[in-house]
Structure 1
Amino acid sequence: MKKHNLLKRLAAAAFVGLSVLTLSTVSADAAKTKIADVSQWQGSINWSKASKELKMVIIRVKHGNPGDADYSLDSKRTVNANGAYKYGIPFGQYNFAEFDSVADAQKDAKQFYQLADKRAKFYVLDNEKRKSGVKGKEQTYVNAWLKTMRSLTDKKIIYYSYQNFVHVHNINASSFDGTWIANYSAKPNVTTDLWQYTRYGRVSGISGNVDLNKVVDSSAVNSWYTNGNTTTTSNYYTSVTAGQTVKAKRAFYEYSSANYTKSKRVAKIKAGKSFKVKAIVKSSNGTPRIQLSNGNYITANKTYVTVK
């Protein structure tokens, strides 16, 4: 009887302990509500503390292009990427650009991609400054930058600016995968998925002020980091039947290998094109790919394709 009672007490204690642990985990997840963008100006971030509050973070890589008077690489770009990755904070990276020609925009995109951390879930064009005396429409340079980035990566590419800049230069960001707009007085009156609403935010582990952002379209913003470089089964087709048809919902590349590299690209696929499928094959890092009847591979990401 005593032994039986002891076992009952131990079982009850274990249940209480498990309940506390579960509640603590839920509370910790619920506390991760903040989305910040950071650069060297935030100094040395305690990522262990910041991870308790940050749902996502966007990290600066560089400011301008070589040759610009104010060109600089962000001195904290690598340590911030490492910190966010270590503590499981999904992160994107942004590029503060200053264009003066199509060639300059193309050069800027190539350098940004080369410097960006490949663990980033998405990339951002920070387009908020126009050089004095520059001719040509800003939209032309934005388009050239985006086109170059599309040739380098299949990850999502986001447009960032502030409300007035978008109006003054009549920017159309509909070709990007998302928009992130700053306006500190009120919600932006231009289309945005993510709203940078203050430069005076606070986050544990970050000394001083930091930009904070509010989600306007949760489905869109969540897709920036859950659909980029992930194997979550809800985001990917994990089974198909040979002979089924797959249709492109947006532009992407076809590859000769399930392990995507630029050298393995076969063709750029336009939205609306259909294929016959053969099977689902995983890349070396576990990402599902659709193998086509011709033996080549395309993404199995539901954002990009639909299987009929």
Structure 2
Amino acid sequence: MSVDALADASTDPFRTQTISDDTAADAMPDNPDAALPDQVSAAIPDDATVVSEDHAVTADGELKNITTGETVTDPALVGTQDSQPDPLAKTDGESFIPVQADEVKQKVAANGGDANAGAADAQTAPDTPDTQPEQPRPNDSSDSEQPNQSDSSAPSDSASTSDSGEAIGNASDSATATNGAAKATTKGSVRLAALQNNEYGAHWGSYNGTAAFFDASNNLFVQQAKGVIDVSAWQGNINWQAVKNSGVEGAIIRIGYGWDNGFDKQALRNISECRRLGIPFGIYLYSYAYDANTGAAEGSSLVNLLQKAGVSSSDLGYPVYYDLERWTWTGHEVPNDPGTYDGIVNAWYGRLQSAGYNNLAVYSYTSYLNTALNSGNIHSKTRWVAQYGSSMGYTAFPTNDRGWQYTSRGSVSGISGTVDLNAFGNQTATSSAPSVPVYRVYNPNSGLHHYTMNYNEVIMLVGKGWRYEKTAFRAGQSGIPVYRVYNPNDGNHLFTMNSYERDNLARLGWHDEGVSWYVPSGGSINVYRLYNPNNGEHVFTTEYGEYVLVGRAGWHQEGVAWTSL
């Protein structure tokens, strides 16, 4: 980046800052898969922000066609005064990192194009400001269930080569994404993520006996790494079984955008499928907030959606992310200073935390984090960053765990079209044990509760009239076993760590149903137990408030049964 550009970024916090440009000559800066236009209209100011292949937004919030300079008024792209548009509509569902217009102009000129074209000389000047995507635009304000999933073929793997004794991985020299492959090390065989590397050499490998992700210079980004996708309605009806079979190890699901817009059309189905298949998932909400009040409104709206979807804090394998980007919405101005964003983020956090959601984080892209989001408060919350290049330019991650969205053009079996690919993991190794959710359902006829790690069992019981309540707690995949026995006379289940109690009840006619889950040795969250003296049932909860309220209703409080993860 030039000295002049650095000076501009320091004096104008709203200016989109270009970190480095690894892209090909015919690609948009910072967006290797977005085509560079042949010309940029003279009506596009240098300080405008390019937000897609076809569009730039001016400092006063006006969206323009980048080649013709015409103002875009399509409500599907810019919304109305009272309604927010789907932010992915401008890019037909693909992620795009906003970039400064003068950077695009410089590259167009260097590539032999016209960086100051008159609108009358544009190659195309349509009457309408934009064209519809090739596939139908998803309706993102829907609470309806989704149609059946579809299949697609799995990508093939290509081998990576060893770089050193401990760190194994190799940058791809191809201009298109290539897949990482499992690689044996001196510490044993390591199963690497099945996702592709990116176009500029950031790649999968192994480090200290674990899967890892490296930049193009073989600098470690994370070890103990997981290949994660982020999805929305634009990915259509995902075949999640095929996705899991392909090696994807997690998903960040868009639940919606703004406030009072309802669910992303595929959110409920995506959440249900990840639960059914045991795929760890997180949630993200795209922000249209412009002050603390609208940040609070987005927080309240998100809590409402999470509760409607039955997602508790214990369900989440990844955080709830607040997606902060340079947005476009007719009649409204995007915040342009870190102080305003501080108020937005704090208000959003407050609403989520008051509802019991504490695993929260911010998502954005490097240039925005260095300008409009350049706040210690926001940086202390940022754990997932988008940058499509050879290296990660953002270095202020506040925690050991972090995520890099390294390409928007991934290919995964079970998903038609492209999908964002991410590497999540730890900068330094941790010994935290993996955990699995234990679900709680309630029978309104008998008044009994049931606990299971099998989400298919949850679906079966709900189909028979049981009510899904929440994830009661998270159990370990190893540790002290908790046994499940069933009384065929009254339908009661008992869960116990005492094998003698299990054997005694089995002799009395209870059915021994084996091990339900394991109590991990490293648990830190109390699981409280209550006993109903009227029907002999036990209930377990991690929520102390529920423990107190149910105790006041006549249940016996039996203290901490164990600790969970």
Q: Could you tell me which residue of structure 1 aligns to residue 420 of structure 2? A: 211
Specify the alignment match of 2:324 in structure 1.
Answer: 127
How big is each residue's C-alpha offset from its partner over 1:229-262, in whole Å with a ceiling of 9 and x where there is no partner?
52221441499xxxxxxxxxxxxxxxxx945276
Give the superposition deviation at 1:63.
Answer: 1.2
Listed as ranges, the matches of 1:1-308 within 5 Å are 33-52=226-245, 53-66=247-260, 71=261, 73-116=263-306, 117=309, 118=311, 119-121=315-317, 122-129=319-326, 132=333, 134=335, 137-169=340-372, 170-172=374-376, 173=378, 175-176=380-381, 179-185=383-389, 186-192=391-397, 193-215=402-424, 217=426, 226=435, 229-232=473-476, 233-237=520-524, 258-260=541-543, 281-282=560-561, 288=562
Whether the 8 Å contact between 1:106 and 1:148 is mirrored in structure 2 is yes
Aligned-partner Cα distance in 2 for 1:38–1:236: 31
Deviation (angstroms), 1:190: 3.3
Counterparts of 1:75 and 1:224, CA distance in 2: 34
Q: Secondary structure at the match of 2:259?
A: coil
SS of equivalent to 2:370: helix
**1:238–1:183 CA distance, 2 compared to 1 (3 A):** closer
Q: Which amino acid aligns with 1:127?
A: L
SS at match of 2:249: strand
The superposition leaves residues 199-221 of structure 1 with CA deviations (integer Å, 9 ceiling, x where unpaired) of 00111101111000123526699
Measure, in 2, the Cα distance between the counterparts of 1:145 and 1:265. 28
Could you tell me the percent identity over the aligned residues? 26
Structure having the larger proportion of residues in helix: 1
8 Å CA contact retained: 2:379, 2:396? no
Over the aligned positions, Cα root-mean-square deviation in angstroms equals 3.6
Preserved contact between residue 283 and residue 321 of structure 2 (Cα < 8 Å): yes
Contact 1:238 1:280 in 2 (8 A): no
Q: For the Cα contact (< 8 Å) 1:36–1:213, is it kept in 2?
A: yes
- Separation (CA, whole Å) in 2 of partners of 1:220 and 1:104: 39
Q: CA deviation at 1:99?
A: 0.9
Alpha-carbon separation, structure 1, partners of 2:548 and 2:304: 18
Distance across 1 between alignment mates of 2:431 and 2:303: 22
In the alignment, structure 2 segments of 5+ residues that lack a partner are 1-188, 195-225, 438-472, 477-519, 527-539, 550-557
Contact 1:51-1:84 at 8 Å conserved across structures: no
Letter in 1 for 2:475: T
Distance 1:221 1:78 in 2: 32
Letter in 2 for 1:190: T
Q: Deviations over 1:98-121 (max 9, x none)?
A: 112212111211111221241333
- Distance in structure 2 (CA, Å) of the matches to 1:265 and 1:180: 37
Offset of residue 280 of structure 1: 6.5
**Structure 2 CA distance for partners of 1:74 and 1:265, relative to 1, 3 Å:** farther
Give the paired residue count. Answer: 227
Quick check: 2:262–2:305 contact (8 Å CA) kept in 1?
no
8 Å CA contact 2:369–2:379 kept in 1: the answer is: no
| Higher deviation after alignment, 146-155 or 227-236 | 227-236
Letter in 1 for 2:238: I
TM-score normalised to structure 1 length: 0.62
1:110-140 deviation digits (Å, cap 9, x = unpaired)? 1112212413333111111355164762122
Give yes or no for contact 2:259–2:302 (8 Å, CA) kept in 1: no
Alignment partners' CA distance in 2, 1:61 and 1:224: 28
Q: Which runs of 5+ in 1 are unaligned?
A: 1-26, 240-256, 267-278, 283-287, 290-299, 302-308
- Give the partner amino acid of 2:349: L
Change (3 A) 1:86 1:160: same
Equivalent residue of 1:73, what SS? coil
Distance in structure 1 (CA, Å) of the matches to 2:320 and 2:273: 18
- The separation in 2 between residues aligned to 1:55 and 1:152, in whole angstroms, is 28
Q: Which amino acid aligns with 1:73?
A: F
**2-structure distance, mates of 1:224, 1:157:** 20
The Cα of 1:30 is off from its aligned counterpart by: 5.5
Deviating beyond 6 angstroms after TM superposition, the runs of 4 or more aligned structure 1 residues are 219-225, 261-266
Contact (CA 8 Å) 1:194, 1:221: kept in 2 or not? no
Per the alignment, residue 247 of structure 1 pairs with: none
